[in-house]
Amino acid sequence: MFAECSETVSILYALVFGAGEACVRIDIWSILSAFAAFMVGVVILQVLARRLWARLTQGPDIGESLSEAAPSEPRTDKPFHDDPSYRHSAIRSSRR
């Protein structure tokens, strides 16, 4: 039933290159190396997928539209002017 092996390879090597007539070594280091390679692949694919998704879902570039709309106005840290005494103001005290 079991043939004698002339060569023994790890799980990762067997997955990448194939085992052929060799026996596959199943020990903790073989399993951990295959798992580590799998996790690295998952992380790389997640980064690529997030970049692709961000590129597909982004709208028009806001920075270019602001600079084209009002090139003579200096940029400030305040995006809008709001009256804090106004009842329905966007910026208001929480003690109302």
- Checking if the pLDDT of 83 tops 90, the result is no
What is the pLDDT, as a whole number, of residue 22? Answer: 86
pLDDT, tens only, 64-76: 555 555 555 666 6
What Rg value do the Cα atoms of the chain yield, rounded? Answer: 30
pLDDT, tens only, 3-54: 788 888 999 999 888 888 888 889 999 999 999 999 999 999 999 999 999 9
Round to whole Å and give the CA distance between 20 and 41: 24
Q: Where in the chain are the domains?
A: 8-56
pLDDT, tens only, 84-93: 666 666 665 6
